[in-house]
Structure 1
């Protein structure tokens, strides 16, 4: 049985945000295009032997009308706010949704009731790191206002998705001095240092994207915690993935920095359609080379359990009521077979996430 679980990676959205105008990736008929609220997550975890003591919400890649925003040097703060409000309508609505849940004022369709917001122990929100320093600072102020002080106090990090981009595009984004400067501005908070979540796809976009991420981390140095999502998405369907050795080399390079963490998450979606192994034993047979390298590279104190709910239901073999518990069982079996002590298992299940995101409750 796992000890206390702090799920480091889940997504939520209300029934009012299930169309392409709210999430460009949420096309009509998509399996995920329905409400996923705290109450739905609670129902999905109910059948597992151990239920989570809390979770970290991760932003959901809300719709933007274009990749960036033009802000003139002579624009006033009010003019910049107006442009940002129109451009980032969907991300700001995401923050308003989170505020309602945290403050206990959920509306119909939010999938939450009184007290459900207490399960949110950390928030990883989106921010436009690609903008100039002035516009970025204005947006952070708007984000804080949209969240309210109670929810803003739970912000443990930020995410700007890099998956779906070529290696050249990723190098261009991360090599921009504005991007690096904004990461430092947002995350370097003294004692309450925040995290930057890294979402890349080494399988579909190439391992080169990891090399670009390593360069970003080396440029920022140690003022920010970096959290790598989903094992960086290797090709789990191919036992002879040609890029495996390069992936291992990149993971070793990234793990050499003490402020970098890795999530054990997202694996159920990295197989060919309908090809996810259906038993813990068969899944572990595929995952061991990856998990072994991650655990050896990062150590238990920088590895985080994450379910990637509800995205885990897309490829998971046990249905919406069983996939969360299935992944918990897989991770616990792996940690047990590798002989991790109870103390080290506590780190993987909760304390590493608490350290990465500054969540005092689980430290």
Structure 2
């Protein structure tokens, strides 16, 4: 039996948007792929039903094609990530182009923007790039809350490079957050171990107020076909989660889980999914607590192989809140409060 939808204000802390005219600028794009079509606000509205409780979303970069080395020299390698900034400016300022799937009134839903950034290139290059983002963002610059450079598909040592750590420290001084995307299931346990070491290096000798906040995507993408809590994969994930939670300025997105589930579970009921996830949810709640956990959908990635994915995931998270007997303040934090705090969305508070 599922619960009624939450009436608390909701901020979807993790969605991706892209117009059909720019599909080929994405590194993952293939005409035969399940996401090779426009995914804009019209499609998001259809998926969510835009319930009155939905205050808005945080946009995450969508892995546009880039060239770090060319960007460092003349900026040409940043053309497509900066094109994405242009796209999000049009949404956030209510200035759509015909056929892009959004209207001026949709701007109210854009609460935050997290573009791509060339973290491995170091502080000097990063500062140059962010200056370009500011120019391209124009009136939407105030919505840019942080940056992401996906490490889940990168080689060992990427997160530990001198330039990467230097870039994280620069972001902390400037008040930006870093969205961390690692993948234990596909990438390996070493990604979680490197993430812990990266954060230690980024924080070493840094004053608390200048430490960059990390927002971890998709509970680190564990293998959700593993239900045995003595399985080495689960133990390794749990160990890393405990270590990550010890850092004060780390937040966890309860998002993206459909992608890590076996097909049979994806097709299951809300209760089936909740029961399978319960060992993972218990660890997340025990380590991060409701004041550092935030709801996110990972739309439209969550829709691959899942019917009514956004509404189904909302129901799973609601079931989590009910079973954990969270009080009103704790529920508000998960649905929107933690996102407001982590991304510093003070205008909503």
Name the TM-score, length of structure 1 as normaliser: 0.88
Task: Give 1:1-363 correspondences, 5 Å limit.
Answer: 1-2=5-6, 3-19=8-24, 22-46=25-49, 51-64=53-66, 66=67, 68-69=69-70, 71=72, 80=73, 83-84=74-75, 86-148=76-138, 150-165=139-154, 169-170=155-156, 172-189=157-174, 193-221=175-203, 222=208, 223-240=211-228, 241-273=231-263, 275-316=265-306, 318=307, 322-363=308-349
Which residue does the alignment assign to 1:75? none
Q: CA separation in 2, counterparts of 1:31 and 1:249?
A: 34
Higher helix fraction: Structure 1 or Structure 2?
2
Deviations, residues 94-137 of structure 1 (Å, cap 9, x unaligned): 00111111122111232111121121001111111111433222
Q: CA separation in 2, counterparts of 1:235 and 1:68?
A: 34
Spell out structure 1 runs of 4+ moving beyond 4 A: none
Q: CA separation in 1, counterparts of 2:42 and 2:249?
A: 33
Q: CA separation in 1, counterparts of 2:268 and 2:99?
A: 33
Q: Does the 8 A contact of 2:151 with 2:159 survive in 1? A: no
Q: Does the 8 A contact of 2:71 with 2:77 survive in 1? A: no
Deviations, residues 201-246 of structure 1 (Å, cap 9, x unaligned): 1011111111111111112224111011001000002324531101
Q: CA separation in 2, counterparts of 1:70 and 1:27?
A: 25
Q: CA separation in 1, counterparts of 2:122 and 2:284?
A: 35
Q: CA separation in 2, counterparts of 1:229 and 1:315?
A: 20
Q: Does the 8 A contact of 1:174 with 1:216 survive in 2? A: yes
Q: Does the 8 A contact of 2:182 with 2:217 survive in 1? A: yes
Deviations, residues 39-64 of structure 1 (Å, cap 9, x unaligned): 2211211176x651111001101012
Q: CA separation in 2, counterparts of 1:69 and 1:160?
A: 17
Q: CA separation in 2, counterparts of 1:362 and 1:218?
A: 32
Q: Does the 8 A contact of 1:280 with 1:326 survive in 2? A: yes
Structure 2, unpaired ranges of 5+: none
Q: Does the 8 A contact of 1:130 with 1:178 survive in 2? A: yes
Segment of structure 1 superposing worse, 101-110 or 337-346? 101-110
| SS at structure 2 position matched to 1:41 | helix
The Cα shift of 1:5 comes to 0.4
Deviations, residues 308-353 of structure 1 (Å, cap 9, x unaligned): 111110132x2xxx21111101100111111000110000000001
Q: CA separation in 2, counterparts of 1:187 and 1:39?
A: 35
Deviations, residues 267-302 of structure 1 (Å, cap 9, x unaligned): 111123465142011001110000110011001000
Structure 1, unpaired ranges of 5+: 72-79
The Cα shift of 1:175 comes to 1.6
Q: Does the 8 A contact of 1:14 with 1:36 survive in 2? A: yes
- Alpha-carbon RMSD: 1.7
Q: Does the 8 A contact of 2:68 with 2:78 survive in 1? A: no
